[in-house]
Structure 1
Amino acid sequence: MKRAEIFSFQFVRFLVVGVANTLVGLSVIYSAKYFFHAGDVLANAIGYGVGICVSFTLNSRWTFAYKGLMVPAAVKFFLATAVAYAANLLTVMTAIDGFGINTYMAQALGMPVYTVVAYLISKYVVFRLKIQ
């Protein structure tokens, strides 16, 4: 297979994991609110926590077929998530404050930025195996 084909297939897997992770996280948020009467902040934190764990598990095993040490990879993954979120937030705020874009549209513009940054950091930093 050519390098571009591997990249594309791997990126599609990354996107599929993102959809699954979003559905799981949102289900947990709604369940926490409905069944346990959790407030929005607590429900959101629990849902995102579960979603990030699902994302790490699926991406490490399925998307990147990672065979390295999991604890260091998990730490890097959580840091990568924070960097991707910062890139998303910077995009959203720049779109709103710098270009006067509607806030709903700005939120949508931030999503692909998050996805691409998270993918690139995951591929080249988090789940990269050193060749010896």
Structure 2
Amino acid sequence: MKHSFFRFLLVGIINTIIGLSFMYLFLHLFHFSYWLSTFIGNTIGCCVSYFLNKSFTFKSDKSFASSIIRFILVILICYVFSYYVGEKLALLLFTQLNFLPSIYGKDAAVLFGTGIYTICNYIGQKYFVFRSEPLVKEWNQ
């Protein structure tokens, strides 16, 4: 567990369980829209994510004030990009492959968006939010 990506994945498993649980809860039990369900689930997961990534994943000494704005910015950009692409990818896949029942399209979109989000979010958190060394120095190592 020396590399931050493995710690990030462990935190991500926790966030994914929490976030996806709430996404599907709001999507299926409360019949909220795709965007509202993913936004609420993602927001809940983000609260857990910030504190675990700051203390455990990146072991950052950045103050709350100096990192929270960057964290929120990365989260929002990753959210919009990832779930938009996930929705479009699922739509493309489910319209092209007629043997896939369209009833699962939104569920697939959530999963696709979550996968894309994980990768984009790691990059943003590591290199923009909790970066401890200058970016150029880190890349030269």
Provide the TM-score with structure 2 as the length reference: 0.64
Residue of structure 1 aligned with 2:59, choices 46, 65, 68: 65
Change (3 A) 1:116 1:69: same
Q: Structure 2: which amino acid aligns with 1:80?
A: V
Question: Partner residue of 2:125?
Answer: 122
Number of the residue aligned with 2:111: 108
Per the alignment, residue 101 of structure 2 pairs with none
Question: SS at the partner of 2:59?
Answer: coil
1:80 corresponds to: 74
Partner amino acid for 2:79?
Answer: Y
Where do 1:40-59 residues align within 5 Å? 48-59=42-53
User: Equivalent residue of 2:110, what SS?
Assistant: helix
Contact 2:78 2:117 in 1 (8 A): yes
Higher mean alpha-carbon deviation, 87-96 vs 57-66, is at 87-96
- Of 16, 31, 35, which residue of structure 2 is paired with 1:22? 16
Aligned-residue offset at 1:48: 4.5
| Gapped regions of structure 1 (runs ≥ 5) | 34-38
Which residue is 1:36 aligned to? none
Kindly state the Cα deviation for residue 19 of structure 1 after the two structures are TM-superposed. 1.6
Q: SS at the partner of 1:101?
A: helix
Aligned residues with identical type, % of pairs: 30
| Alpha-carbon distance between aligned partners in 2 of 1:107 and 1:15, rounded to the nearest angstrom | 18
Pick closer, same or farther for the CA change 1:46–1:121 going to 2, 3 Å. closer
Alpha carbons of 1:49 and 1:89: their partners in 2 closer, same or farther (altered >3 Å)? closer
| Inter-CA distance 114–49: structure 2 relative to 1 (3 Å threshold) | closer
Aligned residues of 2:87 and 2:113 also touching (Cα < 8 A): no
- Structure 2: stretches of 5+ with no match in the other structure: 95-104, 135-141
- What is the root-mean-square deviation of aligned Cα atoms in Å? 3.3
TM-score (ref. length: structure 1): 0.67
Q: CA deviation at 1:61?
A: 0.6
